[in-house]
Amino acid sequence: MIDVCLLGTGGMMPLPDRWLTSMVARYNGSSLLIDCGEGTQIAMKENGISCKPIDVMCFTHYHADHISGLPGMLLSMGNADRTEPVTMIGPKGLERVVNALRVIAPDIPFEVKFIELNNDFESFKINGYLLEAFKVKHGVPCYGYTMKVERKGKFNLENAMALGIDKCYWNKLQNGIEVEVDGKLYTPEMVLGEERKGLKLTYCTDTRPTASITENAKDADLFICEGMYGGNDKDDKAKENKHMTMNEAANIAKAANVKEMWLTHYSPSLPKPQEYKAEIRKIFPNTKVAKDGRSVTLVFED
């Protein structure tokens, strides 16, 4: 299962009642943070989530509202005695930007590893899940991210017993590892049913609508997407500022056949994004016009 918390829903600048957009996803003891604007560490505290276990930080891009909280976050993780390395992933320039910001956070007791994205699509197997980065369309290089947890087929106890495989090898086979016992080879396929539906979470802000978003969000259990502006009269403004309207986001959610969409990254000029809920739900019914701190636990089917 994945515990998801949308820490903030604001774009451009933090407001007294709206943190900047960022998300934390916790899976199997690992914490993935996407973006870290000014105040993100406070939003985490408000939601009772510790910053210490963050082992992966992804950045969509380097506009200040998506990374200005990083120095403070690193220091707080250090003050919490984190010593394990942290992997940062983001568009080209990551190391230069992070190291510049670290002028005020030079001493932290853990290593920072950098993975810079250069292609339209890149994927990583990390901490037991699959992390995919896909390029979107903003004024600067910008990426969306998908977190996928795969689910193996059901363990077929009868097959394992019939084949006479000793219990001590079951775990290996369950985890996809072949086993040889007394010259006999046992493969996972012998004891596992068909792969089952896993979990998929796609996150994407600061972009015009693109085919890559629809492709990458395909059939996601949860799609967190920017809805910078409400109403069709904001189409031109969205185009000009390389952002999306809520309607555009809803059309992507529909085309991608996602289970549920959460809107986020509202313009500071939009004090009540909820006002557009009914209109957006006409396009994609399972839309949540999210507020700060919206959380869910994504669990496997059945």
Terminal-to-terminal C-alpha distance of the chain: 12
Question: What contacts 96, CB < 8 A, 6 or more positions away?
Answer: none
Q: Report the alpha-carbon distance of residue 177 to residue 157 in Å, rounded.
A: 17
Q: If we measure between CA atoms, which residue out of 251, 247, 215, 219 comes closest to residue 233?
A: 247
Of residues 228 and 298, the one with the C-beta less far from its own copies:
228
Segment near its own copies (CB under 8 A), from 9-17, 120-128, 202-210, 213-221?
9-17
- Scanning residues 69 to 88, which ones bind its own copies (CB under 8 A)? 69, 71-72, 75-76, 79
The C-alpha atoms of residue 302 and residue 299 are separated, in whole angstroms, by: 9
Q: Tell me whether residue 65 is one of the annotated catalytic residues.
A: yes
Per-residue binding letters, 13-32, with its own copies (x by CB under 8 A) = xxxx----------------
Residue 67 is a binding residue for its own copies (CB under 8 A): yes
CB nearer its own copies, residue 146 or residue 264: 264
Judged by CB under 8 A, does residue 96 bind its own copies?
yes
Helix, strand and coil in the chain, % to nearest 5: 30, 35, 40
Q: Which residue has the tokens 């809803």?
A: 250
Contact between 200 and its own copies by CB under 8 A: the answer reads no
Nearer to its own copies, 131 or 228 (CB): 228
Q: Of these, 28, 45, 162, 275, which contacts its own copies (CB under 8 A)?
A: 45
Q: Which residue's structure tokens are 């996972």? A: 188
Q: How far is the CB of 89 from its own copies (least distance, A)?
A: 17
User: Which of 31/41 has CB closer to its own copies?
Assistant: 41
Q: Among residues 53, 105, 190, 235, which is the contact residue for its own copies, using CB under 8 A? A: 105
Query: Rounded to the nearest whole angstrom, what is the least distance from the CB of residue 272 to its own copies in the complex?
Result: 17
Could you tell me if 63 and 89 are in contact, meaning their C-beta atoms sit under 8 angstroms apart? no
With respect to its own copies, which residue has the nearer C-beta, 14 or 230? 14
Selection from 49, 63, 55, 53 nearest residue 21 by Cα: 63
Residue of 3, 30, 50, 101 interacting with its own copies (CB under 8 A): 101
Nearest-CA neighbor of 27 among 114, 123, 147?
147
Q: Which of residues 216-235 bind its own copies (CB under 8 A)?
A: none
Residue 74 CB, nearest approach to its own copies (Å): 9
**Backbone phi and psi for residue 216, each to the nearest 5 degrees, phi listed first:** -75, -25
Q: Find all residues with CB under 8 Å of 5, minimum gap 6, and list them.
A: 23, 24, 25, 47, 49, 293, 294, 295
Binding residues vs its own copies (CB under 8 A): 12-16, 37-39, 41-42, 45-46, 62-65, 67-69, 71-72, 75-76, 79, 96-97, 100-101, 103-105
Residues annotated as catalytic are 65
